[in-house]
Amino acid sequence: MIAGITGFFAISYIIIVNPMILKDAGIPTDLSVFATIISSFIGCLIMGFWANAPVILTPGMGVNAFFTYTVVVAMGLSWQEALAISIVSSIIYVLIAFTKLSEILAKGIPETLKAGITAGIGLFLVEIGLEKAQLIKQGTNSILALGDLTKPATLLALFGLLLTLFLFVRNITGGFFIGILVTSVVGILFGIKDQVSPSVGIGDIGRYSSIVAKGNFSNALTIPFILAVFSMTMILVFESMGLLEGIMPNPKKFKKAFQASSVTSFLSGILGTSPTVAAAESASAIESGGRTGLTSIVAGIMFAISLFFIPLLAFVPQAAIAPVIIITGALMMNQLSRINMFDFSDWFPAFLIVVLIPFTSSISTGLAFGFVVYPILKIAAGRQKELTVATYVLGFLFLCDLVLSALL
């Protein structure tokens, strides 16, 4: 039970951060906060009762960036279409999780590409966080430039970043949550707030139904829709697979935990939010002694209780959220340590994934180049025996993705 409470406070920032990111996709903050909490509550219960694993499920950092900044902002689709893409991707995810395909992919996809995906998404989150902190901006003579360090909001974000880093390296329980809270209080004291602050209260739950089951499938047979489904499916499957393999204390529970994650991901699209994944912060619960599903069930109950405290969101500025996004992205980049830097044919495809995701603001583009180049380099090096059928198939599919994206 202590582990469940610990894990909740470690990931509780998602209640604030996820709606703020989805706001850029057009989903109202005062409604997506309910979707975030309810999907997390249901996901944790499914994980606890079905998989009996100490893993917390919440809308994932990274896939919410793909949902917002790639599908909606870059591709120009509506948030309703993005929800439809999320639902279809999750159905495929469920099919993979409940069949032998999960084992084939787990063994067939090279670790270097899995690590590259997580690290690339992490660097993308760092870029988003720096923009929200106004520490970087679009440059006049360069792609990016340093922001105005005299702005109150930027100084507040820097304060929040230093505070949150201090709490994190000291292993303070709930350090991210405390960092957001203290930074928000400082912002209130100095009158620093966003131009448009969300007004959220439990009374708004009556309007929550306006984003439930709103997936728009009218363009489901179009090329952009199909390409987005393919890319989101790859993100969901490999990010979840990598996280679960990395944090699960009992490997025997991987299969059911993977299944629980897939089912919750499907439900999240119906509930009106980006897909849920296993939270990396589950590691804090496991380190606190969590070994069974009771940990995730307690965390789910804590999410339900948090419904009564969401009015506090109105006092949280972007500058308080940015540090958490930056640090989360940096933590995801530690996957670089799993890449064999002494083998060019191994690390260069992963390198392409890592740099192209933030440079193009498109997770799907980064994935495509990495998966296409990997088999090409292995064949060029005369090491095609290292390739699996899954590597060939995904390389071909991502090549089709790039060709079709260029032609459309």
Encode pLDDT of 157-208 as tens digits.
999 999 999 998 998 877 877 888 899 899 999 988 776 555 667 777 888 9
Helix (H) or strand (E) holding 229: helix 223-247
Q: Which residue from 309, 235, 333 is spatially nearest to 12, judged by alpha carbons?
A: 309
51-60, 310-319, 340-349, 370-379: least confident range: 310-319
How deeply is 210 buried, as exposed, middle or buried, from its count of CB atoms within 10 A (0-12, 13-18, 19+)? exposed
pLDDT level of residue 372 (50, 70, 90 thresholds): very high
The pTM assigned to this predicted structure is 0.77
> 307 vs 15, 18, 203, CA distance in Å?
10, 15, 10
Q: How far apart are CA 195 and CA 57, in angstroms?
A: 32
Nearest to 335 by CA among 211, 228, 238: 238
- Interatomic CA distance for residues 327 and 243, integer angstroms: 17
What count of Cα atoms within 13 Å lies in the side-chain half-sphere of residue 121? 29
How do residues 293-302 score in pLDDT, each as one tens digit?
Answer: 999 999 999 9
Does residue 130 contact residue 122 with C-beta atoms inside 8 Å?
A: no
Report the length, in residues, of the chain.
Answer: 408
The set of residues, in sequence order, having a beta carbon less than 8 Å from that of 276 and lying 6+ positions away, is 39, 40, 43, 57, 58, 59, 60, 261, 264, 265, 267, 268
Helix, strand, coil share of the chain (percent; to 5): 75, 5, 25
pLDDT of residue 316: 78
Question: Residue 86: its pLDDT value, please?
Answer: 96
DSSP 8-state code for residue 306: G
Average pLDDT over residues 47-62: 92
At 78-95, the pLDDT tens digits run 999 999 999 999 999 999
Domain boundaries, the chain: 1-330+342-407
Tell me what pLDDT residue 261 has. Answer: 96
Exposure of 342 by Cβ count < 10 A (0-12 exposed, 13-18 middle, 19+ buried)?
A: exposed
13 pairs with which residues across the strands?
Answer: none
Q: Which of 406, 352, 322, 360 is nearest to 143 (CA)?
A: 360
**What are the phi and psi torsion angles at 277 (to 5°)?**
-140, 170
Provide the pLDDT for residue 231.
87
Q: What angle do CA 406, 73, 202 make, to 5 degrees?
A: 150
